[in-house]
Amino acid sequence: MGKLSLTLLVVLFPLLAASLALGAYLNYASVRNSYIEMVGTRMQTVARRVASDAQVALSMGMPLAGQNALERLLTREAAADPMIRSVDVVAADGTVLFSSDPVRRGTREQESDPMAERRMASIVSAFDTTEGLVVTRASRPALDAALARAGGGILTVAVAALSLAALAIAIVVVLAVRGLTRRLTDRAATAAGEEVPAEMVPVIAEIDEAHAAIRSRWAASRPPATGS
């Protein structure tokens, strides 16, 4: 019994671990994509809102470089979301005109920044010319830290589920093997005195009864013997 139980557990545990690991990975991938999409949507909304205000000022004849009120708007938008690293208004030549981060004002916008996730919205004039961009930048380390926390939570749940499932499987296997062993080793005697598994005794008894009935009918159907 012990060897059979151990064999079943050795076979079932890797399958269980693999299935839970795959489920945890797919769950994390789904959470990661949903989270990045949610953050990206918030960033895009901020960029479009600032671009809309800048376009209104452009339509009133105020050049983009002269819209100093945007500085306060950018600071307010960045402060409202801790995930946002900066919100910049960038001229068509790539110069940062206004930014929620004062250090970035007057610098050149970098299209590839490994430390930031970027979303943009164009600032279009009434003549359908692109005067600049609003660039919302999120801190990639902050995103990675949030995803790491989510992954840690998923891993904790997966490990707990694996432990409980392993315990449940171990109990089921031990009980099943014990019941099977009992059925195989529990023996009883038939009417003929032969030792067989106990659950076979009723079956053998029914077969013996059927044989006896056949013999009785056969004996009754034979013609009586006549003397000479």
Global pTM exceeds 0.85: no
- For residue 176, the model assigns a pLDDT of 83
pLDDT band of residue 181 (cuts 50, 70, 90) is confident
- Interval 18-52: pLDDT, tens: 888 898 999 999 999 998 888 889 999 999 999 99
> What 3 state SS string does 161-217 have?
HHHHHHHHHHHHHHHHHHHHHHHHHCEEECCCCCEEEHHHHHHHHHHHHHHHHHHHH
Token pair 């949507």 is at which residue? Answer: 41
Mean confidence (pLDDT) of the chain: 84
pLDDT band of residue 194 (cuts 50, 70, 90) is confident
pLDDT band of residue 210 (cuts 50, 70, 90) is confident
Q: Using an 8 Å Cβ cutoff, are 6 and 98 in contact? A: no
**69/212: higher pLDDT:** 69
- Interval 64-123: pLDDT, tens: 888 888 999 999 998 888 888 889 999 988 899 999 988 888 888 877 666 678 899 999
Classify domain 2-139 by CATH architecture: 2-Layer Sandwich (3.30)
Q: Using an 8 Å Cβ cutoff, are 177 and 5 in contact? A: yes
Domain map (residue ranges) of the chain: 2-139, 187-221
Half-sphere exposure of 169 (CA within 13 A, CB side): 19
